[in-house]
Structure 1
C-alpha cells in the first residue's frame, strides 16, 4: 500500500508501544511519528524548530489529555490554520465522558475513540481506524478531511 505518515500525540509510553504494535500488525504501510504533548504536535505539524524537516502527515491520533495543551486546545489551533484546517485528527482517549467527546467534536475532531481497556480491543480499534482511513484515502486520492 501507499506509504503514509501518522502523527501520534501521546504521553504514555505503554499506549505509544501499543499503537506502534497495532500499526505494524495492520498490514498497512504507515510511518508512525510520536510527540509527547500538544505543543510538540503543533510544532511538528507546522514543521517548526527541531521539526523543520519532518514529513507532512496525513492523519493525527491525538490523546485528549496531554501535557501543556489538551486535545481541544490543539484542535482549536489546527482548525484556525489554513494549512491544517482539513487535516484528519482523531482523538484517542481513555475518557468516555460525553462532555469530553462533544468538546473535541465541536472543536473539529474528525472522530473520537475511547481507548479499549483490553489488548485485543485496543489492537482491533487501531486496525479498524487504519482500514477506514485507507479506504477514505483510496476514494479521494488524497487525505480525507473526515473519516
Structure 2
C-alpha cells in the first residue's frame, strides 16, 4: 500500500538551517515532502500557486522562521491567517528568538505553536521527532481538500 506523502512548507532564509532540517526529516521520515521558501513572500506565492496548479501541493504544515528579508515571519503569518483558504493550515514558528514579544505576537496572529531553534544537531533531531509525532500522528489535521472550503 503506497504511503500518502505529508507536505510541509519550510520558510527560512538561513540555507544551512533549512538544509539541516530537511536532512533530518529525509533520514527519519521519508514520506514527508518538504518545499522551501526563503521568505514570507515566497511562501505566500507558493500558497497561491497551490490553489491554481495541481502540481503544487498545498502544505499540511508550515514551519516558519521569523527573521527574514523581503517579508518576515510575522507579516507572513498575519497575511496567511487573514486569508480564508490558508487559515486552516497550521503554522509552527521555529525561530532563534525566545523573546516574549515574538512569542506573544506569533500566538496573537494565530500561530499553532512556537519552538526555539536548538543549538545542537541532537537537540534539533529530537525536536523534529516531536514535531513529526505531534503534527503527523497525535493531532487530526483537515484533509487537503477540506482546506479549500
TM range (shorter): 0.7 to 0.9
Superposed counterparts of 1:44-123, under 5 Å: 44-47=46-49, 52=53, 53-123=55-125
User: Do the aligned residues in 2 keep the contact of 1:4 with 1:31 (CA within 8 Å)?
Assistant: yes
- Counterparts of 2:18 and 2:29 in 1: how far apart (Å)? 18
Deviation at 1:69, TM superposition (A): 1.3
How many residues were matched structurally? 142
| Cα separation, 2, equivalents of 1:90 and 1:27 | 18
**2: CA distance between counterparts of 1:140 and 1:111?**
14
CA 72–133 in structure 1, closer or farther in 2 if over 3 Å, else same? same
Q: Which residue number corresponds to residue 142 of structure 1?
A: 143
Structure 2 residue matching 1:47: 3-state secondary structure: helix
Stretches of structure 1 lacking an aligned partner (at least 5 in a row):
none
User: What do you get for the CA RMSD once the two structures are aligned?
Assistant: 2.2
- The verdict on how the C-alpha distance between 1:140 and 1:46 changes in structure 2, with shifts beyond 3 A counting, is closer
The TM-score normalised by the length of structure 2 is 0.86
Gap runs ≥5 in structure 2: none
Cα deviation per residue 1:65-92 (whole Å; 9 max; x = unaligned)? 1111111111111111110011110010
Distance 2:79 2:24 in 1: 29
Equivalent in the alignment of 1:131: 133
TM-score, normalising length: structure 1: 0.87
Paired with 1:126 and 1:94, the residues of 2 have a C-alpha distance of: 15
